[in-house]
Amino acid sequence: MISLPLNPAAIPANIPRTTKLRFIIALCVCALLFSAHLVVNQRYPVPDVQTALPKQRFAYVTYVTSEEYVCTTLVMFDSLLAAGKRKDVDLVALVTQGISVNSTARIEGLGARIVKVDVIRTLRGDETWKESLTKMFAFKLIEYERIILMDADGIILKPLDFLFDLPPYFLYAPRAYWLSDVTLTSILYVIQTSEALYTTQYDILKAAEAISKPVYDMDIANEAFAKTAALLPNGIAILNGDFKRSPSVKAPSHLFWNVSRLAEEVKYVHWSESPMGNLGVDQKASFIAIAQL
């Protein structure tokens, strides 16, 4: 790396005027070339941060790729505020271009910071999860030290702030307890943000696309981190399906708790009604009914 005198006053005075001028022009050309080089090297889309940079270290983050997700985001953030959160934690919504100004304003109205992002979608595959890859952007919200990333089609029943105090580690995730293998579920992550966490996943996506293999965010996260991420204890983040059982039976998400105990302890419930789709119109009412089990 050549060090250039960025301040023209640093050029020795005994050099003739035209040489000085040429030197300054050369310097400008260099600066231009260098910025062009930076642009060319920008292999990955960068979130276009719309609002002022935050002063907080922590944030709850979700992503919004459709008007339906605007609705669930409002419900989710509202439930989060009702459950309670620390003052030093921001609410952030990653919002894609298709979302209307009014919808964006409604999310902002809950005190959330809006970060505009491009959609990342799989080229093929299931409609429900096609655009869920967009959540990868959250991994590089490096203006925060640590974030909790949650799918918007869920509801918070108890404060989650304690997750910000976990010992430093790049990723904590719940186990996909409904699968027999040790697999991470992508419904909730505790992330120590870094550009590398994003690029690792983006590279896996590109490699899958090169061989026309459909992959979703959960596949990518597991390929990248299943062996290294820390598992969150079961019972913190679960699927609503657990509550379709009688209160006295054993909860699928916990070795010892029955469904009634699970309802008392659970913090985040994710709506998952595959193959009916992930969104419930009366989502909040259903969850409140569940919470009153």
Ligand X SMILES: *[C@@H]1O[C@H](CO)[C@@H](O)[C@H](O)[C@H]1NC(C)=O
Residues that bind ligand X (CB under 6 A): 100, 102, 247-248, 258, 260-261
What are the two backbone dihedrals, phi and then psi, of residue 197, each rounded to the nearest 5 degrees? -65, -35
Longest CA span, the chain: 91
Residue number closest to ligand X, CB atom: 248
CB 64 within 8 A of CB 94: yes
Between 107 and 133, CB nearer to ligand X: 107
Q: Min. distance of Cβ 103 from ligand X in angstroms?
A: 9
Pairing type for strands 268-270 and 188-192 reads unpaired
Q: Min. distance of Cβ 162 from ligand X in angstroms?
A: 21
Can the peptide bond before residue 252 be classed as cis, meaning omega within 30 degrees of 0?
Answer: no
Q: Min. distance of Cβ 158 from ligand X in angstroms?
A: 17
Q: Min. distance of Cβ 59 from ligand X in angstroms?
A: 27
Between 14 and 248, CB nearer to ligand X: 248
Q: Min. distance of Cβ 23 from ligand X in angstroms?
A: 55
CA neighbor of 117 nearest in space, from 129, 126, 104, 106? 104
Between 230 and 291, CB nearer to ligand X: 291
What are the two backbone dihedrals, phi and then psi, of residue 87, each rounded to the nearest 5 degrees? -70, -25
Between 13 and 101, CB nearer to ligand X: 101
Element at 78 (helix H, strand E): helix 67-83
Between 59 and 70, CB nearer to ligand X: 70
Q: Cα–Cα distance between 285 and 265 in angstroms, integer? A: 19
Q: Min. distance of Cβ 34 from ligand X in angstroms?
A: 43
Q: Cα–Cα distance between 116 and 226 in angstroms, integer? A: 29
Between 154 and 235, CB nearer to ligand X: 235
Q: Cα–Cα distance between 90 and 24 in angstroms, integer? A: 45
- DSSP state, 145? S
